[in-house]
């Protein structure tokens, strides 16, 4: 799917569009009560809110209070009283949240030390027959290109090695279907989609490296001099322009299944 923007247009949210398709295809729809685990600043929660509509309800939970404050501000700005956020660990969900029609998460199972146990625990908050939908990245095949892109390779390694050293499973995409099955869920469906870039398309690699810079340095993955953050974006664009080659930047897996009814 090569639907990133060219140099002069605003950057498209390709992964957000993948999230929308996954949620809709999995069966998230009008009137449902949905839990978004590891919601962060609420991007996925607001996408779910559009699908469930005014008769539905979305509860986002996250163990980190900082993104939750941003999520609450955004819900107020958007005028969405049926989207609420709570602080907590997804493995120790308070029974006061009640039962849900669906549990959703994006880029969150990869951070759980035991994702099967986390899903089993979350299943207790689902009604019988309820839906589980997760979207997770995978480092296995990216970046991929027919021509060498050594700076792109290094930039991806800085990001992926950092999250791996922080304890994340960087192959969660490939593990996703098996994890859902081992958690006792049924009717598992799985897909993978790629973010494909042509030489002219801008992408967020340099911005993500900039945001992760303190963590990259702290984990000893690369030095400030190696990264040279202020020139990184320009060097990445230049490398792709010279190679004049299409490349795959991200692989995003999506899977859904149901709690036995
Ligand atoms: C990479 S962010 C993804 C945020 C959001 N799902 C999205 O895709 O935009 C991962 C989020 O999961 C949260 N998280 C990770 N493990 C968690 C846990 N066990 N319980 C609650 N939140 C968790 C983190 O605090 C962080 O906000």
- With 0-12 CB in 10 A as exposed, 13-18 as middle and 19+ as buried, what is 246? middle
Nearest alpha carbon to residue 90 among 118, 67, 50: 118
pLDDT at 3 over 80: no
Domain ranges of the chain: 14-258
d(CA 170, ligand 1 centre) in Å: 15
Nearest alpha carbon to residue 253 among 213, 200, 195: 195
Read off the pLDDT band of 11 (50, 70, 90).
low
Q: In this predicted model, what pLDDT tens digit does every residue of 165-220 receive, in sequence order?
A: 999 999 999 999 999 999 999 999 999 999 999 888 888 899 999 999 999 999 99
The response to whether residue 143 sits with its C-beta less than 6 Å from ligand 1 reads no
Record the tokens describing residue 133, joined without a space: 């939908």
Task: Write down the mean pLDDT value for the chain.
Answer: 94
pLDDT at 36 over 60: yes
Q: Is the peptide bond before 143 cis (omega within 30 degrees of 0)?
A: yes
d(CA 150, ligand 1 centre) in Å: 31
Is 14-258 a domain of CATH 3.40.640.10? Answer: no
Task: Please name the residues in contact with 220: beta carbons below 8 A apart, sequence gap of 6 or more.
Answer: none
The response to whether residue 15 sits with its C-beta less than 6 Å from ligand 1 reads no
Its pTM stands at 0.94
Task: Please name the residues in contact with 29: beta carbons below 8 A apart, sequence gap of 6 or more.
Answer: 51, 52
Read off the pLDDT band of 9 (50, 70, 90).
very low
Cβ pair 111, 38 in contact under 8 A: yes
pLDDT at 5 over 50: no
Nearest alpha carbon to residue 173 among 192, 155, 187, 160: 192
């Amino acid at each position: 799917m090569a639907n990133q923007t060219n140099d002069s247009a605003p950057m498209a949210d390709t992964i957000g569009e993948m999230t929308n398709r996954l949620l809709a295809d999995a069966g998230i729809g009008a009137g449902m009560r949905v839990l978004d685990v590891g919601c962060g600043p609420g991007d996925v929660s607001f996408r779910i809110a559009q699908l469930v509509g005014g008769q539905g309800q979305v509860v986002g939970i996250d163990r980190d209070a900082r993104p939750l404050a941003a999520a609450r501000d955004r819900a107020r700005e958007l005028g969405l009283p049926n989207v609420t956020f709570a602080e907590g660990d997804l493995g120790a969900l308070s029974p006061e949240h009640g039962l849900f029609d669906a549990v959703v998460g994006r880029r969150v199972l990869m951070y759980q030390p035991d994702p099967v146990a986390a899903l089993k625990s979350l299943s207790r908050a689902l009604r019988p027959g309820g839906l589980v939908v997760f979207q997770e990245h995978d480092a296995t095949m990216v970046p991929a290109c027919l021509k060498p892109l050594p700076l792109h390779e290094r930039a991806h390694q800085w990001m992926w090695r950092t999250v791996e050293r922080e304890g994340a499973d960087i192959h969660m995409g490939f593990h996703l279907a098996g994890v859902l099955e081992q958690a006792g869920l049924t009717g598992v469906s799985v897909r993978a989609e790629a973010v494909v870039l042509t030489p002219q398309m801008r992408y967020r690699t340099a911005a993500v490296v900039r945001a992760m810079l303190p963590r990259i340095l702290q984990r000893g993955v690369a030095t400030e001099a190696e990264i040279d953050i202020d020139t990184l974006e320009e060097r990445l664009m230049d490398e792709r322009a010279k190679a004049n080659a299409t490349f795959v930047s991200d692989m995003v897996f999506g899977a859904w299944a149901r709690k036995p009814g």
